[in-house]
Amino acid sequence: MIRAFLLDQDGQDYVEYLLLAGAAAAVFAAVGARFKNEIQATFEYVIQMLRGARQ
């Protein structure tokens, strides 16, 4: 039973997708940390423009 589980490769694709998703999440986290101030400034600018358009 254990040997059949270890030789079964049906779940291999899921593991590969999980690793790829984890790598993408790490890249997004690193980019977000690096450009935090620029992202925040952009959101604040957009909010100010929306508030100005509302008046």
User: What average pLDDT does range 11-26 have in this prediction?
Assistant: 88
User: 7: buried, middle or exposed (CB in 10 Å: 19+, 13-18, 0-12)?
Assistant: exposed
Query: What is the model's pLDDT at position 37?
Result: 96
User: What average pLDDT does range 36-50 have in this prediction?
Assistant: 95
User: How many domains does one find in the chain?
Assistant: 1
Query: What is the model's pLDDT at position 24?
Result: 97
Query: What is the model's pLDDT at position 11?
Result: 67
**Whole-angstrom distance, CA of residue 24 vs CA of residue 20:** 6
Q: Which residues contact 32 (CB under 8 A, 6 or more apart)?
A: 39
Domain of residue 42 covers 2-54
Query: What is the model's pLDDT at position 38?
Result: 96
Query: What is the model's pLDDT at position 39?
Result: 94
Q: Which residues contact 39 (CB under 8 A, 6 or more apart)?
A: 32
Q: Is the pLDDT of residue 23 over 70?
A: yes
